[in-house]
Amino acid sequence: MADDILERLKDRLLELDMDGAVDAARVVADTGEPAAVRDAVDAVAGGLEVVGRRFQSGEWFLVELVYAAEIAKEVMGLLSPLMEAGTSESAGTVVVGTVAGDLHDLGKNIFINYARSAGFNVIDLGIDVPTEGFIAAVREHSPLALGMSCLLTSTDMEIGKVIEELKRQNLREGVKVIIGGAALTEEFARRAGADAFAPDAITGTDIIRGWSAL
């Protein structure tokens, strides 16, 4: 994909120019190339990292953070359907949600799109999912893997709670647990008792693909 259109997409996001960002995303979408769409999704994710830094440093306020997220959501809405090429045979079921107290879902949704395009049947529980919500979904769907997303350090303990509850209800042996999101690390995953931490959606998809081949 031509780098200038990806740059334009990221720049328009960082200029909080909704129309400009959507126009750039449309140019990418019109190519119909899955690789171009993935590059564009990466460009949006890179832009959001800069948004986070601006917010953290005090350069930007909540209003800018919220609007940048709205632009990202709009752009992702345009690009996501093009990633879900999928295969006819399911590689397995994966249940995914964002932990209780956390409303971030852009990264989770990117992982879901990648996993679906790799042939997984993904059950999306949405955001702010309480422990009981994850447990009920594992009981109902008996998934290959449970994915939890967490971007706030104030909610990361929710992951340990879910894993403990899976153990208490004798469900842990039957499901792999994968976690992702800006608040988490490999070390955190080990301590919480998860099977894997994914720093990004592509790695996460590769990990569950490895599990489904076992």
Q: Which residues bind ligand B12 (CB under 6 A)?
A: 45, 48-49, 51-52, 55-56, 62, 65-66, 69, 73, 96, 101-108, 110-111, 147-149, 151-154, 178-183, 198, 200-201, 204
Residue 42: φ, ψ to 5°: -65, -40
Rg (CA), the chain: 17
Residue number of the CB atom closest to ligand B12: 107
Rounded to whole angstroms, the Cα distance separating 79 from 106 reads 12
Nearer to ligand B12, 76 or 88 (CB): 76
Rounded to whole angstroms, the Cα distance separating 130 from 100 reads 5
CB of 68 to ligand B12, least distance (A): 6
Nearer to ligand B12, 29 or 44 (CB): 44
Q: Specify the pairing of strand 93-98 against strand 145-149.
A: parallel
Structure tokens at 96: 């995914």
CB of 19 to ligand B12, least distance (A): 19
Residue holding tokens 């971030």? 104
Show the DSSP H helices in the chain as ranges. Answer: 3-14, 18-31, 34-57, 62-83, 106-117, 131-141, 157-168, 186-192, 201-212
CB of 67 to ligand B12, least distance (A): 8
Rounded to whole angstroms, the Cα distance separating 95 from 116 reads 12
CB of 118 to ligand B12, least distance (A): 12
Query: Residue 25: what residue type?
Result: A
Residue 82: φ, ψ to 5°: -80, -15
CB of 97 to ligand B12, least distance (A): 9
Nearer to ligand B12, 56 or 87 (CB): 56
Nearer to ligand B12, 88 or 179 (CB): 179
Nearer to ligand B12, 24 or 183 (CB): 183
CB of 169 to ligand B12, least distance (A): 21
CB atoms within 10 A of CB 186: 13
Nearer to ligand B12, 24 or 194 (CB): 194
